[in-house]
Structure 1
């Protein structure tokens, strides 16, 4: 197909309709979402959003044109092209009310099936395509009339106005939608993305996507020609098979690259950092921690995050012989009273045993070794995909229990959380086996029993809650779980939706709550706080807690009219969902994807998006019912921030080679 043929095709009604609808959605892609986007982010959103809208609209209009070709002989006289356009216009006008009415009839339902959502979007897309095609036809008729009146000889009639008309419609719609929106406080000081630069960059994204699509089309045509040369049938017959074969080849190459990347990522988690190599930091691992000299769990199998966890924990008393001047963040120093014990840290790496059951057996044996059953609290933690545990959460619990706790963790993946979504099932089964075994051991125990509590962050919260799926609040009660704290629960957690959605017979709403910040927890009625056992802390601007695949097919509950208003809370992540946010097919999915990515970017030590570190100490104290004076809580929060500030410095070099910190932190003197 030559350049002129491509240009002629692009000027046709189907492609012009696609350009019109794609241009109409472009202004909406620049609307702000939960957190600011960078220029590349905006370019990707606009480029991919408009490209997908174009492709879907063209495919829909091509179907309408195909249907019109069968009706062209029944719509009056004239040339074949004239009858074809007339039939297409009639169908376009007919599908507008039919498509939009069908989309309206398929209203969103709680827990609706994916098929229903897809059907609603097909109906909506059909109606919008008919509307766009009708608008383009009217524009075309106007140009033709102007061309004849001015005697332009077809020069005016040939002007492709699909994109300009669509852009004008889109800008007008966005201006109309902004009317009446309430003034809301600014929640970020990040500069806004420049629309012109983002638009130029998005054109580049569209170009890259288009080149890829063209390359695939050429490969498919070439494959079809080869098949037609040796098998019965022409190129048209074999072109679909050409598409299948080329896409299969691309998928195969992508699979190979994917597995190589995953192997590289997993290998990186086994690299021992300088501070925790066998001759360095390992000697500072306490006797009650996995990986120590007498541990049943080999040091080399803990993985990177496991080694960090068992090294960087609060000690009961100050360590006097460290080879570097480090802050005194011992439990006794921060709490202003003697520590009750040294924290027991049980961490079973993915490589510590070959099967889930073997890892569970190893965890139980290690719990026996460290005396976990004699502690006042057993904190059952499900880590993120990489095996990471929130240091602030585990350190806060260590301080608040004065060290009298056991923290038990089993790794289920060595990949970052976005690449570990397919490991949720494995994590659920592993956690279920462990928690059932611990529950049985606690029931068999005579005399005082430790309380069992749950903790999870991000994908760790999801994999922790998944054990309780379809059991509501009865699940943790049946397992003997006294309390639970989850931070940054991903939107994909089914249990989270079950306990916060429509009423269920297995859910006691007095036992569970989801809040944005600690003050919001404190603002709950006293009767609710008295019975509260299971708390989810999810920042309202955390994209991880809002992004799901269903954004493609339906408006989520957090974007309904019942959303809370935006509030600025000093020292906390802002509350509420901006009124300007509305659900847009495709665009909202891409916005959510970028919000999820950007939420995980740390912006200093502050409560914001997916960073819950400054929130954690008071939540641990309140939810787990661990007593502390206001002064002790303040010192814990100061110590947690200091620990975070020195952690990266510690992990970047050999312990023996570290230089003293000029801004050495010393906790305030305890109250007497």
Structure 2
């Protein structure tokens, strides 16, 4: 009798049941893939062909000109980050394409050969063009050209930046796969990988937001608070009763903050004022309230009005209210220019609402500037409006950058700005300014967005300070000064997907004809321009300085003031820096 011998199959060959999805076939290999997920060597994965191709395009476009020139270091970082954005977008596009069609190995190799042939040539061409564009842009802004060898340093920094970002992305991808392999025994493979991606994304965001952003904000807040408590070099407590913080003042010296102490002490002396005008001058009044001067913003505004009454501010020829930047800073060229024009017969008032930089205030604390501007402007205006019309001083209002936003929100409409003061000067308005947006949108037909005309109201725009000298007719009541190369004015989220009007047709004086709009890239480049917007020469970027003289001369010139006086005062302010 023959026996039937059954030999056990090895584990690898024995059939087994599985709750995993049905076996699938690779597009390039018809062999059945096992139920268990394969071990993927994530850190040794090759580059995505679509990712590499789009990163090369983004890398080349990063050398195209923007509003302001960049140093070799910044250009290298920008190029590396831009290439990483392109690689991420290209990889995502490739993954979507592979859901419908998986290219053969031959097609992929052809694509790689084309990229290896074309990309180095394109990079060399755009490096050369980028150097030429940067040189032309620097000449346009009156800056020194860069060295020729800076291009090599730019390439090195860009490759290092791209490599670090790619390594970070691969580590996050490896983490997602690790989490998925832990979950794959409990849930289907597709759900495991989806859960792994979500877990790593949430943890990464939490680490970025909770550990990095919060700590950076806390550090910046602490550092700004320490800086605010200090006193600038050479700044000493004034003895004049016409200054806040002096003996007899209602505002203590210690409560002014660093920028407040600078504000009240940096006024030109009567000797300097007389030397410019050639006649006896009056000592200027400068009043300021810091964050520590009072706990409540309206109490600080009321305190300043009492200071104005104490010093006789409303008996001067001009009362000017300044909404400062985030740190409480007011440009001394702006304040001094008004004092020189009126021989010191002025009273200048300002109030701090934060000690953080304007960028952080814009992102996290716009309500603070609105509350402070509204409280101070309203308090001063109400006291001024209660005076007899024939005995009032001129009421002027000034805002720069974030201060323009607070000023506009205080008045609420262009009509109220025109009637609310004798003159309002706004420099470098932000894209979030509602009145500026409305005036630009409703500008006269045929006028460019960077230098619009709004004849319905006495409102003037100037892309260059000197163009205000050619005006005819009655003086305007509101003047917007907005350099055509000021990224604070022109950056906005819509740059991500929409070509801006300031890159249509005729360009502003500072904008190169070679600057064009590219989705995502132009927004990113203009955002980077914000970093050095305050480092540009006067009249470019976010630097207005002595150009403010033209603004004051257009709004409220003193009797007998001439264009020659404007040029002479601008030269004086430029030499004094």
For the criterion TM > 0.5, the same-fold answer is yes
Partner of 1:56: 89
Bigger shift: 298-307 or 261-270?
261-270
Q: Give the CA deviation at 1:558.
A: 1.0
Q: Does 1:424 align with 2:362?
A: no
Per the normalisation by structure 1, the TM-score is 0.70
Tell me, what secondary structure is at the counterpart of 1:590?
helix
Residue number among 230, 240, 244 corresponding to 1:271 in the alignment: 230
Per the normalisation by structure 2, the TM-score is 0.80
- Output the CA distance in 1 between the equivalents of 2:45 and 2:550: 66
Tell me, what secondary structure is at the counterpart of 1:453?
strand
8 Å CA contact 1:21–1:166 kept in 2: the answer is no
Partner of 1:19: 52
Residue number among 156, 161, 175 corresponding to 1:205 in the alignment: 161
Structure 1 pair 433–21 and aligned structure 2 pair: CA distance change class (3 A): same
Q: Does 1:301 align with 2:234?
A: no
Structure 1 segment 238-637 matched on structure 2, within 5 A: 238-239=195-196, 240-254=198-212, 255-276=214-235, 281-282=236-237, 284-316=238-270, 318=271, 329=272, 331-339=273-281, 341-421=282-362, 422-446=364-388, 447-469=390-412, 471=413, 473-478=414-419, 480-503=420-443, 509-524=456-471, 526-527=472-473, 530-564=474-508, 575-601=509-535, 603=537, 606-627=538-559, 628-629=561-562, 632-633=565-566, 635-637=568-570
Q: Give the CA deviation at 1:55.
A: 0.8
Q: Does 1:236 align with 2:193?
A: yes
Q: Give the CA deviation at 1:347.
A: 0.8
- Output the CA distance in 2 between the equivalents of 1:389 and 1:257: 25
Q: Give the CA deviation at 1:225.
A: 5.6
8 Å CA contact 1:385–1:413 kept in 2: the answer is yes
Structure 1 pair 162–614 and aligned structure 2 pair: CA distance change class (3 A): same
- Output the CA distance in 2 between the equivalents of 1:210 and 1:8: 12
Partner of 1:121: none
8 Å CA contact 1:306–1:349 kept in 2: the answer is yes
Structure 1 pair 247–611 and aligned structure 2 pair: CA distance change class (3 A): closer
Bigger shift: 52-61 or 635-644?
635-644
8 Å CA contact 1:384–1:416 kept in 2: the answer is yes
For structure 2, the 5+ residue unaligned runs are 1-37, 130-135, 445-453
Q: What does the per-residue CA deviation read over 1:456-508, in whole Å, with 9 as the maximum and x for residues that have no partner?
A: 22332333233244x1x212134x2111112233344332222122259xx75
Q: Give the CA deviation at 1:270.
A: 0.9
Q: What does the per-residue CA deviation read over 1:9-59, in whole Å, with 9 as the maximum and x for residues that have no partner?
A: 53xxxx211211221232221122222211111112211111112212322
Tell me, what secondary structure is at the counterpart of 2:211?
helix
Partner of 2:15: none
Bigger shift: 390-399 or 238-247?
238-247
Q: Give the CA deviation at 1:453.
A: 1.1
8 Å CA contact 1:22–1:51 kept in 2: the answer is yes
Structure 1 pair 538–227 and aligned structure 2 pair: CA distance change class (3 A): same
Tell me, what secondary structure is at the counterpart of 2:230?
coil
8 Å CA contact 1:302–1:349 kept in 2: the answer is yes
Q: What does the per-residue CA deviation read over 1:378-426, in whole Å, with 9 as the maximum and x for residues that have no partner?
A: 1111111111111111111112122222111111111222222133221
- Output the CA distance in 2 between the equivalents of 1:377 and 1:483: 11
Structure 1 pair 601–243 and aligned structure 2 pair: CA distance change class (3 A): same
Q: Give the CA deviation at 1:607.
A: 3.6
Structure 1 pair 58–335 and aligned structure 2 pair: CA distance change class (3 A): same
Structure 1 pair 639–25 and aligned structure 2 pair: CA distance change class (3 A): closer
Structure 1 pair 401–48 and aligned structure 2 pair: CA distance change class (3 A): same
Bigger shift: 160-169 or 545-554?
160-169
Q: What does the per-residue CA deviation read over 1:519-562, in whole Å, with 9 as the maximum and x for residues that have no partner?
A: 322334x24xx252211222222233222232222212211124
8 Å CA contact 1:39–1:198 kept in 2: the answer is yes
Q: Give the CA deviation at 1:303.
A: 0.9
- Output the CA distance in 2 between the equivalents of 1:643 and 1:584: 42
- Output the CA distance in 1 between the equivalents of 2:207 and 2:49: 32
Tell me, what secondary structure is at the counterpart of 1:269?
helix
- Output the CA distance in 2 between the equivalents of 1:621 and 1:258: 40
Q: What does the per-residue CA deviation read over 1:588-635, in whole Å, with 9 as the maximum and x for residues that have no partner?
A: 1232123222221155xx443322223232332232222335665455
User: How many residue pairs align between the two structures?
Assistant: 517
- Output the CA distance in 2 between the equivalents of 1:346 and 1:537: 25
Q: What does the per-residue CA deviation read over 1:183-237, in whole Å, with 9 as the maximum and x for residues that have no partner?
A: 99941442277444323321111111112223333444445566778x7676425
Q: What does the per-residue CA deviation read over 1:347-401, in whole Å, with 9 as the maximum and x for residues that have no partner?
A: 1112221122222222222222222222221111111111111111111111212
Partner of 2:573: 640
For structure 1, the 5+ residue unaligned runs are 70-83, 87-136, 145-156, 177-182, 319-328, 565-574, 645-672
8 Å CA contact 1:285–1:292 kept in 2: the answer is yes
Tell me, what secondary structure is at the counterpart of 1:396?
helix
